[in-house]
Structure 1
Amino acid sequence: MAEDLVKCDFDSPTAIVSINRPEVLNAYNEELLDELYQTLSDVFSDDKAAAVILTAEGNRAFSVGGDIDYLEQLDSDQAKMLSRKGQGLCDLIEQSDPVVIAAVDGYALGGGMEITLACDLRLASTRSRFGQPEVKLGIIPAFGGTQRLPRLIGDAEAKELLYTGDIIDAALAYELGLINKVVTPRTLLKEAKELALEITNRSTKAVKLIKIAINKKYTEAEKTGYEYESEAFAECFKTEEHRVRIREIKKIIKEDN
């Protein structure tokens, strides 16, 4: 029997949900996204869950984004469906009742980074790296990153990261306001649990209402942006450019190995 792509360890009032595909640096495919959505839905609907720590197995990556073999095969319609699926997952995280803390160790790239952007708080180890390198593949972020990243770090800094596809280290990510705290790899999960405990010791109802109030400012205004993002992502798959760029990246990876 295949191992679960997502693990869940629930010790009320905090659940730890882990992406479990470390052999490919926790890259997502459709199956992983579906399983992550279902697992989080189940946890979020449990009245005993007041906080969720979202992390990943292995110490090399939270997630490097889409499996490039998977992305290479998509056509325009499939790309739009993928974008909607990813946006739905990120909306689920952002709009959930429990506080969601991303605990990032290693690379958080592309859709992997976009998932962390939907979390309420982000802790990262010193060896973490963040980036939206989609432009290097001839595509764009598709899980809401074009909307959430500028919200977090401002338009100018977000545009630079999105236009260049550059990958930044944890220190710069903290300086930009992308993450809340940088910790050692050894203490990452411990720090995330302590933060979750501190929050869950407060009024759960009050924290929930604060989260709703903060997000209310953005949810309605960003709907049009999300719709355009999905359309634009699909547009990128109407030519062969993304496949050419993906093959170039795969060649580089193969040579490095």
Structure 2
Amino acid sequence: MLGAEDLPNRKGANMDWGTYKTLRVEQDGAVLLVTVDRPAALNALAGQVVEDLWELTGVLAGLDEGWPVRGVVLTGAGEKSFVAGADIVEMSAMDPDTAEVYGRRMQQVTLRLEALPVPVIAAVNGFALGGGCELAMACDFIYASANASFGQPEVALGLVPGFGGSVRLQRRVGIGMARELIYTGRRITAAEAHRIGLVNAVFADVPSLLEGARATVAEIAGKAPTAVANAKRALNAIADLGVEDGLDEEVRSFREAFGTEDSVVGRKAFVEKRAPVFPGR
């Protein structure tokens, strides 16, 4: 597996990622493994979890400084749950104003995840319901163990999605399927989630799930980091645009790539029939 030690210009490769009450953050070569660590509560998104995710995503926003890691894998502690959803015990005491603050903060976390310059893989083990499904959808890819299940069950509580589900679910599976899942609150299996395009891949168990996520990050780590970051920015921007505006954004991204050292190195290595060593600039 390609690790951080194999990457050039790795300033800060062993950087301090911070200490969190509800998260475990571990660097494994090119991979940063982030685990929501509240297994007794099925890793539900209590206010403290949201604040920890907010703080961590702020640290991760500077990942392009030396490319200390090349991908983030987000998972949940144990095999029962990725994130079972919002913390209903806390939510039961909320009024509309406090609910709005809670929802906006979690939405900000999801936007930060989408804006990171490296890919984020949700490694979903067990429940990904409500806020857990919404957190997973803010990641670039969703990988699932065979026992995973997904859903937006908010209507059963007299609520609606509040962390981005109304926006991101229809982008992933289409408006018709999104309406059906949100209106019914139905829970679907990993196999069904894969069939409708919500999930990229399904793995037999949690160890193979995490290994699959690490392998994908290792594959990406062999590519030009500036190009991957550029591609992620372009794809996010184009998602909301029409064809002509999308093509304009794509050519902007294409032009930007030609101004990087990574592009010069990659093209020269191809012509010379050798493997490139990207400087990350």
Higher helix residue share: 1
Aligned length: 220
> What code does the residue aligned with 1:105 have?
N
The CA distance in 1 between the partners of 2:57 and 2:30, in whole Å, is 14
Using the TM superposition, name which of 41-50 and 144-153 deviates more: 41-50
CA contact (8 A) 1:9 1:17 kept: yes
* SS class of match (1:53): strand
Letter in 1 for 2:187: I
1:7 aligns with 24
Offset of residue 220 of structure 1: 8.2
Stretches of structure 2 that go unaligned for 5 or more consecutive residues are: 1-19, 243-281
DSSP-derived class of the 1:177 partner: coil
Please list, as runs of the form range in 1=range in 2, the aligned pairs for 1:145-156 lying within 5 A after superposition.
145-156=165-176
Q: CA contact under 8 A between 2:74 and 2:121: conserved in structure 1?
A: yes
More displaced stretch, 116-125 vs 6-15:
6-15
Alignment match, 1:102: 122
In 1, Cα distance between equivalents of 2:150 and 2:128: 5
Question: Could you tell me which residue of structure 2 aligns to residue 167 of structure 1?
Answer: 187
| Residues 1-257 of structure 1 aligned to structure 2 (within 5 Å) | 4-46=21-63, 47=65, 48-185=68-205, 186-218=207-239
CA distance in 2, matches of 1:135, 1:56: 24
Cα distance per residue 1:66-112 (max 9 Å; x no partner): 11111110000001111101110100111111110010100000011
Identity, % of aligned pairs? 36
CA distance in structure 2 between the aligned counterparts of 1:67 and 1:83, rounded to whole angstroms: 12
Q: How far apart, CA to CA, are the structure 2 residues paired with 1:117 and 1:212? A: 16
Question: SS where residue 42 of structure 1 aligns?
Answer: helix
* Structure 1: segments with no counterpart, 5+ residues: 222-257
Q: 1:32 to 1:155 in 2, by over 3 A?
A: same
Higher RCO structure, 1 or 2 (CA under 8 Å, sep 6+):
1
Q: Please, what TM-score do these two structures have when normalized by structure 2?
A: 0.75
Q: Distance in 2 between matches of 1:45 and 1:98?
A: 10
Residue 34 of structure 2 aligns to a residue in which SS?
strand
CA RMSD of aligned residues (A): 1.6
Runs of 4+ in 1 over 6 A off after TM superposition: none
Question: Deviation string for 1:26-84 (max 9, x for gaps)?
Answer: 01111110012212321342331221000111110001111111111000000111110
Q: Quick one: which amino acid aligns to residue 33 of structure 1?
A: V
1-structure distance, mates of 2:39, 2:21: 12
Instruction: For residue 55 of structure 1, give the secondary structure of its aligned residue in structure 2.
Output: strand
CA distance, structure 2, for counterparts of residue 35 and residue 102 of structure 1: 17
